[in-house]
Structure 1
Amino acid sequence: MSQVQKQQQQVGDKEKEKKKKETILDLSRYLDKTIRVKFSGGREASGVLKGFDPLLNLVLDGTTEYLRDPDDPYRLTDDTRHLGLVVCRGTSVVLICPADGMEAITNPFVQQEG
């Protein structure tokens, strides 16, 4: 193998490494655990993470969607609906967090009027 061929092969190998998409989050530690996902548009769901890819497409099993108040889209209601097995498109995922240890708190930045 000539020197030129070796250099061409090295350049080709470097280009292949660049093309590999690496995920910015390591979700492997959440596999088979319940996570909560927020989507652009305001929807929220929780389910057991069964799989994911570098583009953050998610596969959730036993998924439950948390419904919003029709009058106030920023407020969650106690209503839920069961969705089952869901594939979540990564481009619409805004937030991913484990469901364990999550609790709602009051907003400390809201000033009381009066």
Structure 2
Amino acid sequence: MADKDRDREKKRKESILDLTKYIDKPIRVKFQGGREASGILKGFDPLLNLVLDGTTEYMRDADDPYKLTDETRHLGLVVCRGTSVVLICPADNMEAIANPFVQQEA
């Protein structure tokens, strides 16, 4: 009976996402509401709360909150709340691709 409880507790503590291979590497994070930031991943927990160092926020267009501008803002050391994280991706070898669902202008 004690083994079942121990196994159940171990499963509960495991996170769906294992970010250990990205520790001390640059990542890019998108948040609910359209904000985006990149920085060096220093730590995380099972709730996906993230600690980023050397963080840069990508500023959004005032007219279109989901469109990014070339303007950035340096934030430094940041703790990101996991409930607002929508996407995490490595910053190295990342490139933008065209949206296949939007008709391209000729």
TM-score (norm 1): 0.83
- TM-superposed CA distance for 1:26, in Å, is 1.0
Confirm whether residue 69 of structure 1 aligns to residue 61 of structure 2.
yes
The share of aligned pairs that are identical, in percent, is: 79
Q: How many residues align?
A: 104
**Larger of the two Rg values belongs to structure:** 1
Moved segments of 4+, more than 4 Å: none
Confirm whether residue 14 of structure 1 aligns to residue 4 of structure 2.
yes
User: CA separation in 2, counterparts of 1:112 and 1:59?
Assistant: 38
Residue 33 of structure 1 is matched in structure 2 by 25
Question: CA offsets per residue over residues 7-66 of structure 1, 9 Å max, x none?
Answer: xxx34x533442442110110000000000001111100000000111111100000000
Give the secondary structure class of the aligned counterpart of 1:51.
strand
Q: What residue identity is the alignment partner of 2:25?
A: K
Pair 86,113 (structure 1): closer, same or farther in 2 beyond 3 Å: closer
- TM-superposed CA distance for 1:89, in Å, is 0.8
User: CA separation in 2, counterparts of 1:39 and 1:69?
Assistant: 16
- TM-superposed CA distance for 1:111, in Å, is 1.9
Tell me, which stretches of 5 or more residues in structure 1 are unaligned? Answer: 1-9
Q: What residue identity is the alignment partner of 2:5?
A: E
Aligned Cα RMSD in Å?
Answer: 1.7
Q: More helix per residue: 1 or 2?
A: 1
Question: In structure 2, which of residues 69, 94, 100 is the aligned counterpart of residue 102 of structure 1?
Answer: 94
